[in-house]
Structure formats: C-alpha cells, structure tokens
Amino acid sequence: MRLYSWGRYPVSDSQPHAPRTPAAMAALLRHQASAPASLIARGLGRSYGDSALAAEVIQTQAFDHLLRFDESSGQLRCAAGVSLDQVLQVFLPRGWMLPVVPGTRFVSVGGAIASDVHGKNHHVAGTFGEHVTRLTLLQASGEVVECAPDQHSDLFNATCGGMGLTGIILDATLRLQRVPGSAILQQSLRSANLEEVVAQFEEHASATYSVAWLDCLARGSALGRALLYLGEHAQDGRYLAPRPGRLSVPFDAPAFLLNRFSMRAFNALYYARRVDPQARQRLEADSYFFPLDGIAHWNRLYGKRGFLQYQCVIPQDAALPGIRRVLQTSGAAGKGSFLSVLKKFGPGNAHWLSFPLAGYTLALDFKFEPSLLPLLDELDRIVLDHGGRLYLAKDARMSAQTFQRSYPRWEDMRALRLASGADRLFNSLQSQRLGL
C-alpha cells in the first residue's frame, strides 16, 4: 500500500496492520520480533513527513474509546486512538477544554503525545505531554508498562515527544481544564516588520493565546511584517462543540498556481485586511484554533507532489537575528510560503526529544520541488548557528548530523531503545534517517 502523511512527501510502500485489541497488537509484535523490523504505530496520519511511515505500520484508529472521566479533577482516561476532535465534541459542551491543542483537531491522543504537540499558548501552558499524568505503553518485549512523570520517568520522558520509538501507547490519562466559555475573543494587531511583531509578542506575553501570520515575501524594511492575533476565552458560559467543515478541495491543484507571484499577491491582500486593535472579535473554538480544519483535504492545494513544512525554534536571545536570516534567505531564493506562522515559546521540558525551548518558532510551508532541498539545507545551517532545532513531527529530510547537534538527549534515547529492544522493532523512515 502506498502511504504518505499530511505533507504527501515522501511516499512509502507500507504494509498496514489494524489490530482491534491490545492482545492482538501484542501478538503482532511477537510475530515481528523474530527479526529486525521497520514498524511504527500510526494514528490519523497528520504528522507532515515520514515519522509515521515504515515498511509496516500499525493503525490505531480502532482504539477510540473514552474510558473514564473524573468530574472533580478533570482527569480523562482514553485509548490512544481517540482523536482530539472526539474529546472536544464530548467535553467542550460540558465546559472542559484540552489545555493544549495543535493546529488541527484531527490528531490522535497517541500521536499528540508522541509528537508532544504545542499550541498557541505554549508560553503559558507548555506542551500536550505536560498535561499527561499517566500512560500505558506496550513495549517491544510484549510487556505492558504504566509510566508517569514519577513512575518509570525515563520511559515516560522518552515516550512524550519520542515519535513512537519506545513502543505503542495504548491509553493515556489527560488533565482537562475548565473554561468560562468555548469561544475566543480575538484581538488583532498589525506590525510593520519582524522587530515590531516580536516587540508586540513581548508586550502581550501575558495573553493566553498568541500567534502571528507573517508575510514571508516582504523585503527590506518590511521584512517579517505581520498580523498578530491574541486570544482570551469568552466569559459568557456558552459552550459549543466544534462544527464540521463545509468546504473541501476535490482534487490536486495544478502546481503552477502556487508561485512567488500568486503568493506575493495573496500576502499583500491578507496584510492589507482591515484591523482594529481596539476591537475584540468573537470566534468559536474551531475557527480560532483550527481554521484549516474547515477545508477538507487542504493539502491538495500544493499539488500532487506535496509540500514540506519547515518549522524551527530559535532561542530567545538569538531569535530575532536568526529568524530574520531565515526569512531573508528563503525570500531571496524565491521560495515563498503560503502559510507562515510565528509563535512565542516558553521554557522547554524534561521530555527527551520534545521540540520547544524558550524563544520563537517559525513555520513555513513550501511546495515540494527538487530545487527546494538545497535551500532547506541552508536554512538548517542558519538555525544551528543560532542554537535552534527543527520539529520532528514536521520533518521529512533533516540529516542525522543536524538532528544530533540540536537534540542533546538523542544518545539517551538511542541507549533506552537498545536496552529495551525497541531498536529492533520500532523504526520509522525518519528514525532510520536520523540514526536512532
């Protein structure tokens, strides 16, 4: 079966397996254990690169049960194949919210933990994994282990952000949070350049949610001009579940439609949209947190060859010069990004391969074409020179050298995999490329 993730690059010939019980999953692992394997768990396929691609993949969609909820503490135990959408559909109308959500709600809980996803509030709430109080892991040996921050802590910290390389997450317990309303009151601010938008982030560091759209093709004194969106929960006690999307991209768009001229025109129009910094626009949760979920198959807009998202984080002290250099280099190459997003990160955490660290993260979407790869190699050098790193959940081509220079605990991860036997069984295309 030809399989790909959300970026549609690369494409893998994979054998899918769909066990329906933990016992069937353990039996599958025993069958595979006789020889080194290339096998990885796969949730809803929303990672962008090759982290959930392998010669054989274990689909987890059948593990989609909500198991237990404690109304007094907000603790939810659910199977790993449950989607964030399922959680929100059930609990948001009851006044409970996931404390951290990524840019799509169509992600499995297991995938959110494995990627240690972040949202528009990392500077105040951290990552998804920081709100996991316990998880159940099926290891390569067939043993089922309960781990938590204070129980088998090395295994827990290797699994949160570990891209499925320690075993298969069977279920997890999450802390939900009470919210005063499901809607978000959004304030919009315009900035003339990168320096100004970073200053605005710092001025509004106490905002619960913040994210900026950048015009990645602006040059000169307008480099990095942006619209910054701040958000706070409405206090009205109204709670609505996310709505289904109404639009869909029915076929692959012709690749020539996305070029620097069309993107420059789009960016100019988007930046010129009316912004009233004094106004507060009311947006339901799906519109604020997951705007692209309203368009099914939006990845087809990049054509049949797919796209690569390049997401880096650069530490606070080096963020401004580093991001400026990334924007200058990609702009000079004529490789405009249709979607360019800047967010402020708070401190990192104890998870060994977790992406965030205190600073700023920039995400750029590029239509795939062979001439793109040398540019991304050049961007890697800029990011490394400024003390940054790339996000594994978005990566499809990073070198082992780049990974090992930027993730200081990679050797601990490799040692744990060797000790547990995970290295003989759980191997994705990404882990093989990165030397894990």
Say how many domains are in the chain. Answer: 2
Residues 155 and 248 in one domain: no
In a domain, 331, yes or no: yes
User: Which pLDDT value is given to residue 103?
Assistant: 96
Structure token pair of residue 259: 């070029």
CA distances from 115 to 46, 82, 105, 118, 157 (A): 11, 15, 14, 9, 12
Question: Environment class of residue 151 by beta-carbon count within 10 Å: exposed (0-12), middle (13-18) or buried (19+)?
Answer: exposed
* Preceding omega of 10 cis (within 30 degrees of 0): yes
* CATH for 248: 3.30.70.2520
Nearest-angstrom CA–CA distance, 424 and 6? 27
CA 225-356-189 angle, to 5 degrees, is 25
In a domain, 18, yes or no: no
Residues 96 and 228 in one domain: no
Domain encompassing residue 152:
62-179
Q: What is the mean pLDDT of the chain?
A: 94
- State pLDDT tens for residues 361-400: 999 999 999 899 999 999 999 999 999 999 999 999 999 9
Residues 194 and 317 in one domain: yes
* CATH for 154: 3.30.465.10
Residues 89 and 171 in one domain: yes
Strands of the sheet containing 144-147, edge to edge, are 66-70, 75-79, 168-175, 132-138, 144-147
Q: Over 80: is that where the pLDDT of 35 sits?
A: no
CA distances from 23 to 30, 80, 140 (A): 11, 15, 13
Does residue 267 contact residue 315 with C-beta atoms inside 8 Å? no
In a domain, 30, yes or no: no
- State pLDDT tens for residues 313-335: 999 999 999 999 999 999 898 87
Q: Over 80: is that where the pLDDT of 264 sits?
A: no
Of the candidates 179, 212, 240, which is a domain's last residue?
179
Residues 231 and 299 in one domain: yes
Residues 165 and 112 in one domain: yes
Residues 243 and 366 in one domain: yes
In a domain, 24, yes or no: no
Residues 294 and 323 in one domain: yes
Q: Over 80: is that where the pLDDT of 119 sits?
A: yes
User: Which pLDDT value is given to residue 25?
Assistant: 92
Judged by DSSP in three states, 96 sits in strand
- State pLDDT tens for residues 63-104: 999 999 999 999 999 999 999 999 999 999 999 999 999 999
Residues 137 and 196 in one domain: no
Of the candidates 137, 156, 179, which is a domain's last residue?
179
In a domain, 27, yes or no: no
pTM over 0.85: yes
User: Which pLDDT value is given to residue 167?
Assistant: 97
Does residue 7 contact residue 339 with C-beta atoms inside 8 Å? no
In a domain, 35, yes or no: no
Residues 172 and 188 in one domain: no
Does residue 41 contact residue 31 with C-beta atoms inside 8 Å? no
Residues 262 and 376 in one domain: yes
In a domain, 405, yes or no: no
In a domain, 322, yes or no: yes
Of the candidates 161, 179, 197, which is a domain's last residue?
179
Residue, of 332 and 257, whose pLDDT is higher: 332
Residues 391 and 336 in one domain: yes
Nearest-angstrom CA–CA distance, 436 and 415? 9
